[in-house]
Amino acid sequence: MSIFKIIRRSALLAAVFLCLTLGAGCSNNPYPPPLQENGADGSPWKVRYGALPEDPRSLDPQVCYDSVGKRVIEPVQECLLEYHPFKTDPYELQGCLLEALPERITGEGGKTSFRCTLKQGILFHDDPCFPDGKGREVVAADVQFAFQRIADPKVECPALSTLQDYVQGLSEAFEAARKSGQFDYSRAISGLQVTGKYTFEIHLTQVYPQLLYWLAMPFTAPVAREAVEYYDGKVHDGIARDLFRFHPVGTGPFRISEWKRNTRIRFVRNPNYRTTTFPTGGWDPARESELAPLAGRALPLVDEVCMTIFRESIPIFLLFRQGYLDAMGVGKDAFSSLITPSRDLSEKYKERGVALHRDTEPSTYYMSLNMQDPVLGPNRKLRQALSAAFNTPTYLDIFYNGVPIVAQQLLPPGIAGHKKDFRNPYGYNLEKAKALLAEAGYPNGRDASGKVLELTLDTSGGSADERLGAEFEQRQFEQLGLRVKVVENPFARLMEKLDQGSFQIAAGSGWGADYPDPENFLFLYYSKNIPPAGKNASRYNSPEYDALFDQMATMENGLKREELVSRMNALLAEDVPHILLMHRSLFSLSQPWAPRIQSNPMLEGGLKYAVLDPRNREELQNQWNRKPLWPIWLLLFIFAAASVAGIRAYRSN
Amino acid sequence: MFSYLLRRILFFVPIVAGVMLLTFALFFMVQSPKAMAHRVLGPKATPKAVELWLHNRGYDKPLLINRIPEQPWYDSLFISQMRRLATFDLGSSDVTGRPLAEVFRQGALPSLLLTVPAFLAGLVMSVGLALYLVFIRNAAADFIASLLCVALMSVPVMVYVIFGQYLVAQVFNYFPAFGFQLNGWSTAKFLLLPIALMIVSGLGADVRLFRALFLEELGQDYIRTARAKGVSSAVVLMGHVFKNGLINLITLVVASLPFLIMGSLLLENFFGIPGLGNVLFTAIQLPDFAVVQASVFLGSLLYLGGLLLTDVCYAWADPRIRLH
Amino acid sequence: MTTSSQDWLNQSFLPIWLPNLAVLLGALLVALLVWQGNRSERWAVAWRRLRGDRLGQVAGAIAALFLVVGALETVVYPTDTGSRTVLQLLLSGIPQEKGYSAPLATHALSVSDPKPLLKRHILGTDALGRDTLVQTLRATRSALWIGGLTSLVYIPLGVLLGILAAYYRGWVDDVVQYLYSTIAAVPEILMLVAILMVLGKGLGTMAIALGITGWVGMARLIRGEALRQMERPYVAAAKALGQSDWRILTRHLLPNVMHLIVIKFVLGFSGLVLAEAVLSYLGVGAPVGTPSWGAIIDASRSELSRDPLVWWNLAAASAALFLLVLSLNILGDALRRAFDPKSNS
């Protein structure tokens, strides 16, 4: 074959290829067609498009604890209680599967119990695991089964280690199963007494008002025994069944219609759903005109949800710009093109009708200081100096675009006991830090013999950002004249070091609220929670703090409790077992056709309240995705020129 | 020939065993099973939960040899896992509990759809360009071409991906910027861009490699003889250089064939293609030992398969070589 | 300039004279190679040819320039605020800003308010306000150390094993083949990440990791070439004369594969410089406090999607990388031509 033929053929091939691809590429819509064209009543079928960073690891309600899993399971699995979508200051619980909040009864010896009543007529999703594939009614025995699963060692419920201290019979059942190797599901958990078809009582070993928050988590959500037994991951009659952890059967407003690993999860509305309706009040009066028309409407308000898995954050922004995502969080990458210096949405996006939201998570991030370290532990002034040397505002500017709130105390805003006007006495102040360091016995970072003080900073390392962060952190402390050696650890190794106490300063610690109660933060410095028992990685051990904690932990919110909390807060501020960094805040955007309804951080997306205007979306998408033709001409021209040049060169050779 | 192949395959057994032992040692030197549990269970896990996790997966067994009295010596983590792998039972993920056979089965097709076309088209293009360069034998063109090649090589793949995605998928709106859907020919619209990027990012190195290969062939004595006899340069190029360079080419190509199934980490992450490219890397990061072990096992089998294929191809392409 | 402590291969406990000694030894090694090379006939011919190759000379000069910059960043001497490198002292007049600024800009590229800069920066500044040009120059050291140290690991290992396997055949050959098949069959990414996690991050450990995975190719190449040489009559003659194995290996076989080693070294060097960039993406690149091109390029991933675009860090690091890789490649080609017995022109 001559070289001409090759060139001619490949040109032909390329042309055919180009035509084919332009034909195939007529739409840049990345999604499969919706499940239906129209709803049952002829209205347009409404699909919401969202993003997930990875596949959820487990959707077993008794196991799921990571943020991705919680977001996927919330629309599928309802809990006994739920957070009111609008009442966030303070947070308020309301009945979901339960008719109302449980009734608290105090028995003999001060023992408390909660009396609960399930709503009647709530059905599980239609699923092959039930006879005829029809979902059956939820009854109190399903809650008993859920509590049994909490105690089953094979299930690995992360809530067990907390709940077994409070709910009767959990730890006995767990120990018995560990000994025999098999959990005995014929024996009920003594702390969960089924008193009727729809009623049950939870018996506690000690006062624990926070139990109500646990009832708003999937751990305690009722589970159908049929589903767990049916989805065993084995082959039956030639058909391979899923594992239960990948096939939740709940009562929620949606059920999972398709889960393509590494690609997407699609949810479709549950036709049996009638547990809850849109709330009739409780919102900010300013939103009255927006929300009042929705009041009392049957939930959910959209028909389908498609969550796409994005492993890199850059494509999320690309798809949002094209209108193929209904909402997105504003990451570092996209920040400066979206947000103006005055923390406002940039004009370009305002014109598009995009709305900007700012949310603060009930979380606190800090660096842990090891109180058992021979250098840091006994030297309170040194810890104070380190804390005062750290320029938190600049840190947040560089690494978080200045969005988060500088943490002044352990408790984040919105948690009872958080004081708005409290200032960390050892916040950033370099002069003070230098003075404190001198008082600590290390003037200019040198000890009495003139030797430079050397500290070790453990970070979890790897990405470019973490690396820059470590360089920044190192520089903060070295401003004092001492030297800091940075050790970059894989995340798991850092966790291990925190548990073993083999560190001096550990970066990247933080705690997000499991439930909005000060106890959920203050227990981090309770001496009985020093590892291996709990998560007091700083190994803070103060009898005074412990005594206050014992008093405060199970108290009702109120002035008395706030008083105790503020005393504990003052102790932590003076003892500095940590360098406080921030309460995480995020900017997020919503498209004009999908205004955001609720932003309660205790909900994981609250998809059942989401709304959508599909016609407006289609119109804008067409407007935003025009295809110019000049690049094709350019490409063809370059190709032609190259071919001509090639042939010329050949002829002249 | 047959007995040669058989002996080769037998030689693979100790290699695979060595690979698995090495993987095991490397992994557990990096991550104690406990650290692994920590990572999987997240920062909020209590030490008690960690212990339970380890027990349920058998990671509380001795690592290599069981020296606990009254327990069989082979009841160790390594030996029990090797026995499982020997029957090609890949087990299931430590993190999600998903059967790994299913993971690899589902990820293979998207990966192949990306890598095979990119590999073939890239091969044709780079061989073509290399032949062209060898053919015109022009010092200036050679210099410019090698400049361009090195320029293509020294731009990190990441930069190609970010700019390519931005331009073609965002400014021109021709193709989806992200996503994947197996649906006959329309699957192509998700793949064209990543395939093009994969070709461009590999072109520089390949053209240089093949150019060197052909140049070496050009320096051989028989080419000089042919030239001296007055055979035209086009015939020399196509009839001799290309044909004989092909033998080296085949061996290079065949050896890399099995790795196509491994996909491409970067492109799959940026374009949302659910292939195998990130399976091993994510497993190392997570960490998920079961996945690391299974993918190394399959990977080493593929590698050895590639070696075997190369041998066979050599013998087939060059009759002077006998396998014995 | 930052006051951050000068690490040397991430091992702060090493005495500070060590890097200086290393530079001195390196210079001696190069001198020795040139002197030794001039004595051999083949090398002298190659040297003459190389002197006629204008392009090769330019490439060699550029590579040498990089070598000088890298050496300047390696030679340290103590000051009262810790030790500094010569390069740091030479460039110490350039102040550090608070954050990004574009090349030659007068004001910072800031989200909240663009403050005036202390000084104009020819290539702008990075996220922490460090001068991009200074960072790029300082990063030369990482590239050279990774290339150089890794070569020190993988070349002796590969050459020794390859040549022994070819000379002794039999079980020695089997063992060597088994070793390199096994190592080649373990996915490289796992090897590198695992070794680096065990030994800790650092230029030295990175060199060891890359060396352990890299000797396989070298051993294969040398084994093949040495097998070919073994069939030449001079080996048989040497054996017939009763020369010792050691003498045959070092006096006859090694010099005849030496040119391959030199070419592979030069070309492999550029491959190693590129590998560092990939390792940085995987999170096991140069350690904190050690500037490297890979780390700069990796950091630029998020800079590229910023608006206004932050392109100068990527451009500077890529350009430096490009220049070094290009000059090494051209030099490698020139060496190949110079050593090729067939090219007489």
**Mean pLDDT throughout A108-119?**
87
Is C139 in CB contact (< 8 Å) with chain A? no
- As a whole number of angstroms, the distance between CA A589 and CA A595 comes to 9
Would you say residue A369 has pLDDT above 60? yes
Q: Which residues of C touch B30 (CB under 8 A)?
A: 193-194, 197-198
Tell whether the model's pLDDT for residue B165 goes beyond 50. Answer: yes
Residue C298 clears pLDDT 90, i.e. is over it: no
Interface probe for C, chosen from B23, B150, B265 (most Cβ of C below 10 Å), is B150
Question: CB contact, 8 Å: C288 with chain A?
Answer: yes
Closest Cα in chain A, distance from residue B25 (Å): 17
DSSP codes of every residue in B118-180: HHHHHHHHHHHHHHHHHHH--HHHHHHHHHHHHHHHHS-HHHHHHHHHHIIIIIS--S-SS--
| pLDDT greater at residue A653 or residue A539 | A539
Q: What is the DSSP letter of A181?
A: S
Report CA Rg, chain B. 25
pLDDT at B172: 81
Residue B35, chain C, CB below 8 Å: the answer is no
Chain B contact for C334 (CB, 8 A cutoff): no
Q: Tens digit of pLDDT for each residue in A589-622?
A: 999 999 999 889 899 889 999 999 999 999 999 9
Global pTM value: 0.84
**Does B267 or C38 have the greater pLDDT score?**
B267
Whether the pLDDT of residue A216 is over 90: the answer is yes
Chain B residues within 8 A of C178 when measuring between CB atoms: 14-15, 18
Report the mean per-residue pLDDT for chain A: 89
CB proximity C50 to B under 8 Å: no
Mean pLDDT across the stretch A137-165? 93
Take residue C146 and report the two structure tokens written for it: 């990774």
- Cα–Cα distance for residue pair A100/A93, rounded to 1 Å: 9
Contact C317, C300 (CB under 8 A): yes
On chain A, the residues whose CB falls within 8 A of the CB of C287 are 486, 488
As a whole-number percent, the residues of chain A with pLDDT over 90 amount to: 57
* SS3 at position A514: coil
Position A265 pLDDT exceeds 80: yes
Residue B177 confidence (pLDDT):
85
Q: Is C322 on the interface with B (CB under 8 A)?
A: yes
| Confidence at residue A15, expressed as pLDDT on a 0 to 100 scale | 61
pLDDT at C81: 60
C62 part of contact set with chain B, CB < 8 Å: no
- C198 at interface of A, judged by CB pairs closer than 8 A: no
Closest by Cα among A283, A309, A255 to A128: A255
Q: How many pairs of residues across A and C have Cβ atoms under 8 Å apart?
A: 81
The yes-or-no verdict on residue C201 having pLDDT over 80 is no
Chain B nearest C-alpha distance from A620 (Å): 14
Whether pLDDT at C6 is above 50: no
Judged by CB atoms closer than 8 Å, whether chains meet at C198 and B29 is answered as: yes
Instruction: Look at B143 and C322 and tell me if their CB atoms are within 8 Å.
Output: no
- C119 — pLDDT class (breaks 50, 70, 90): confident
Question: In whole angstroms, what is the distance from residue A419 CA to residue A411 CA?
Answer: 8
**For residue C13, pLDDT beyond 60:** no
* B158 contacts chain C (CB < 8 A): yes
3-class SS letters over chain C: CCCCCCCCCCCCCCCCHHHHHHHHHHHHHHHHHHHHHHHCHHHHHHHHHHHCCHHHHHHHHHHHHHHHHHHHHHCEEEECCEEEEHHHHHCCCCCCCCCCECCCCCECCCCCCCCECCCCCCCCECCCCCEHHHHHHHHHHHHHHHHHHHHHHHHHHHHHHHHHHHHHCHHHHHHHHHHHHHHHHCCHHHHHHHHHHHHCCCHHHHHHHHHHHHHHHHHHHHHHHHHHHHCCHHHHHHHHCCCCHHHHHHHHHHHHHHHHHHHHHHHHHHHHHHHHHHHHHCCCCCCCCCCCHHHHHHHHHHHCCCCCCCCHHHHHHHHHHHHHHHHHHHHHHHHHHHHCCCCCC
Question: What average pLDDT does the segment C178-199 reach?
Answer: 83
Is C335's Cβ below 8 Å from some Cβ in B? no
Q: Which of C180, C181, C280, C313 best tests the B interface by mutation, with the highest count of B CBs <10 A?
A: C181
Cross-chain Cβ contact B159/C318 below 8 Å: yes
Residues of B in contact with C184 (CB under 8 A): 303
Least CB–CB distance from B26: residue in C194, C325, C329: C194
- The pLDDT confidence band at residue C7, using thresholds 50, 70 and 90, is very low
Rounded to the nearest integer, the mean pLDDT of chain B is 81
**Residue C318 banded pLDDT, cuts 50, 70, 90:** confident
Cα→Cα distances A405→A229, A393, A430, B250, Å? 47, 9, 20, 61
Partners of residue C131 on adjacent β-strands:
C125
Q: Which pLDDT belongs to residue A314?
A: 82
- Contacts with A450 (C-beta within 8 Å, 6 or more apart), sequence order: none
pLDDT tens-digit readout, B95-143: 888 889 988 988 899 999 999 999 999 999 998 888 888 877 667 777 7
Most B CBs within 10 A among A5, A7, A155, A263, hence the mutation to make, goes to: A263
Is A490 in Cβ contact with C197 (below 8 Å)?
yes
Most confident of A260-269, A462-471, C33-42, C211-220: A260-269
Cα separations in angstroms, A425 against A418, A510, A518, C304: 16, 20, 21, 40
Cβ of C2 and A475 within 8 Å? yes
Which residue of B56, B183, B186 is in closest CB contact with A156?
B56
Q: Which residue of C has its CA nearest to A342?
A: C112
- Distances, alpha carbon B100 to alpha carbons A186, A243, B21, in Å: 33, 13, 20
Which chain A residues are closer than 8 Å to C96 by Cβ? none
- Per-residue pLDDT for C5 more than 50? no
Q: Kindly report, residue by residue over C157-181, the tens digit of the pLDDT.
A: 999 999 999 888 888 988 998 998 8
pLDDT for res A121: 93
CB contact under 8 A, A398 and C295: no
Neighbours of chain A (3+ CB pairs under 8 A): B, C
Hey, what are A250's tokens? 């709940």
| Residue of chain B whose Cα is closest to the Cα of C298 | B158
Could you give the ipTM of this predicted complex?
Answer: 0.84
Does residue A368 surpass a pLDDT of 90?
yes
Q: What pLDDT score does A211 carry?
A: 93
Cβ count near C104 (within 10 Å): 11
Instruction: Write the burial class of residue A653 (CB in 10 Å: 0-12 exposed, 13-18 middle, 19+ buried).
Output: exposed
Q: Is CATH 1.20.59.20 correct for C143-310?
A: no
In this predicted structure, the answer to whether residue C2 has a pLDDT above a threshold of 70 is: no
Percent of chain B with pLDDT over 90: 6
B contact test, residue of C182, C279, C300 with most B CBs within 10 A: C182
Q: State the average pLDDT for chain C.
A: 80
Which of B43, B53, B174 is nearest residue A28 as measured by Cβ atoms?
A: B174
Q: A residues 321-340 near C, CB within 8 Å? A: 332-337, 339
pLDDT at C10: 38
| Residue A18, pLDDT score | 60
| Chain A residues touching residue B136 (CB < 8 angstroms) | 649-650, 653
**CATH superfamily of this structure's domain B108-317:** MetI-like (1.10.3720.10)
> Which residues 279-308 of B have a C-beta within 8 angstroms of A?
287
Nearest CB to A493; choose among B35, B136, B179: B35
Smallest CA-to-CA distance from A17 within B210, B124, B204, B263 is with B124
Query: According to CATH, where is 1.10.3720.10 located in chain C?
Result: 143-310
A246: contact with B, CB 8 A cutoff: yes
High-pLDDT (> 70) share of chain A, %? 95
Residues in C closer than 8 angstroms to B225, CB to CB, are none
Q: Which of A464-473, C90-99, C211-220 has the lowest mean pLDDT?
A: C90-99
Residue B48 binned pLDDT confidence (cut-offs 50, 70, 90): confident
Higher pLDDT, A389 or A4: A389
Q: What is the pLDDT of residue A76?
A: 95
Q: Is the model's pLDDT at A108 over the cut of 80?
A: no
Contacts of A604 (CB under 8 A, 6+ apart): A67, A70, A71, A73, A74
**Which residue out of C178, C186, C201, C225 would a mutagenesis test of the B interface target, given it has the greatest number of B Cβ atoms within 10 Å?**
C186
- Cα distance between residue A415 and residue B174, in whole Å: 49
Highest mean pLDDT among A225-239, B206-220, C235-249: A225-239
Tell me, what amino acid is at A157? C
Choose the closest CB to C318 out of B22, B154, B292: B154
Specify the higher pLDDT residue, A50 or B30.
Answer: A50
Contact between A66 and B31 using a beta-carbon 8 Å cutoff: no
Which residue of chain B comes nearest to C175, CA vs CA? B15
**Best of A333, A339, A477 to disrupt the C interface by mutation (most C CBs within 10 Å)?**
A333
Please answer whether residues B268 and B275 qualify as being in contact, where contact means their C-beta atoms are separated by less than 8 angstroms. Answer: yes
> For residue C3, what pLDDT is reported?
28
The alpha carbon of residue B28 is apart from the nearest alpha carbon of chain C, in Å, by: 9
pLDDT at A547: 95
Chain A from 155 to 174: CB within 8 A of any B CB? 156, 158, 160-161
Q: Which of A25-29, B31-35, B222-226 has the highest mean pLDDT?
A: B31-35
Residue B258 one-letter amino acid: P
Q: How many other CB atoms are there within 10 angstroms of residue C41's CB atom?
A: 7
A467 and C CB contact within 8 Å? yes
Q: What are the extents of the domains in chain B?
A: 2-86, 108-317
- Candidates B21, B154, B161, B213, partner chain C, best to mutate (most C CBs within 10 A): B154
* First-to-last C-alpha distance (Å) of chain C: 52
Transcribe A604-643 into DSSP letters. S--GGG----HHHHHHHHHHH----SHHHHHHHHHHHHHH
Q: pLDDT value at position C12? A: 40
| Nearest CB to A28; choose among B36, B176, B271 | B176
Model confidence band, residue C15 (pLDDT cutoffs 50, 70, 90)? low
